[in-house]
């Protein structure tokens, strides 16, 4: 019925469009067909229409003109465009209870202090199922400039700093595991995923988020599980080439600031 989401309190109809690439003629056709279809199906139930898209560069001039024409022709309907800034604005208005309901609890320092092999093991097992090339060695630890080199924001940096509290547990796990190649297998799995996300055009912060999901973030309803995921991801950020390494002489191996 030409509706990808409905906010009853505002009588707002959302129409989502997320292609891998934006072609102006296709977007203009999409906007026109979906708006007219929504008017037909929703009638007085639609006082707002919101075209929601994933184009970080913004809509082209032709599409902006079409949206303007629709506003002039339909003065009784508020017509809006939503992209990342608008979605982030709504996100920032949410209270802590709503955020927890959507994303779950973030691991705290005390949770990470309780981290043990019991929580790490199933995460490692899950990542290892891909059976990647076991002969890819872990790279040297990155320099302290790695965060800056990859344009990771303060929130991403804080997650990695938090994860570093228990990186030694992960390191000990690999050194004591019966399979001496397991660490290399997991490193290769992360490298494959990192390349796939980077090739898809995600920025560094989005890549970090997707790697968390890949490693099992949120797969279980326990803080310990997510803390284990964070510790493992930080270990491979520190030890493995999953982000660009500035390779500056004399700084390799230093801890994150």
In DSSP notation, 161-229 reads HHHGGGHHHHHHHHHHSS-TTHHHHHHHHHHHHHHHHHHTT--HHHHHHHHHHHTTTTSSS-HHHHHHH
User: Would you state the pLDDT for residue 140?
Assistant: 38
Q: Decide: 128 and 186 in contact? Cβ < 8 Å.
A: yes
4 by Cβ neighbours in 10 Å (0-12 / 13-18 / 19+) ranks as middle
Phi, psi of 59 (to 5 degrees): -75, 150
Q: Decide: 224 and 115 in contact? Cβ < 8 Å.
A: yes
User: Would you state the pLDDT for residue 1?
Assistant: 94
The CA radius of gyration of the chain, in Å to the nearest whole number, is 23
Q: Decide: 112 and 220 in contact? Cβ < 8 Å.
A: no
List the chain residues with pLDDT less than 70. 109-120, 126-144, 240-241, 246-257
User: Would you state the pLDDT for residue 213?
Assistant: 84
């Amino acid at each position: 019925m030409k509706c990808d989401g409905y906010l009853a309190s505002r009588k707002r109809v959302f129409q989502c469009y997320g292609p891998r690439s934006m072609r102006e003629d296709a977007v203009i056709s999409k906007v026109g067909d979906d708006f007219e279809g929504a008017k037909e199906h929703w009638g007085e139930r639609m006082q707002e229409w919101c075209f929601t898209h994933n184009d970080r560069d913004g809509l082209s001039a032709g599409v902006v003109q079409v949206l303007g024409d629709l506003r002039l022709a339909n003065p009784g309907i508020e017509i809006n465009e939503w992209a990342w800034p608008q979605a982030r604005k709504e996100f920032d208005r949410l209270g802590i209870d709503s955020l927890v309901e959507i994303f779950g609890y973030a691991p705290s320092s005390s949770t990470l202090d309780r981290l043990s092999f019991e929580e790490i093991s199933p995460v490692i097992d899950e990542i290892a199922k891909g059976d990647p090339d076991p002969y890819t060695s872990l790279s040297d630890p990155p320099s302290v400039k790695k965060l800056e080199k990859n344009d990771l924001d303060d929130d991403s940096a804080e997650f990695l700093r938090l994860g570093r509290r228990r990186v030694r547990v992960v390191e000990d796990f690999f050194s004591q595991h019966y399979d001496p190649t397991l660490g290399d297998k997991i490193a290769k799995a992360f490298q494959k995923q990192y390349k796939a996300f980077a090739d898809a055009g995600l920025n560094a912060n989005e890549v970090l988020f997707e790697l968390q999901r890949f490693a099992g973030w949120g797969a279980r309803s326990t803080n310990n599980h997510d803390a284990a995921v964070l510790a493992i991801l930080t270990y491979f950020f520190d030890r493995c080439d999953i982000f660009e390494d500035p390779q500056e002489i004399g700084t390799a191996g230093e801890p994150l600031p």
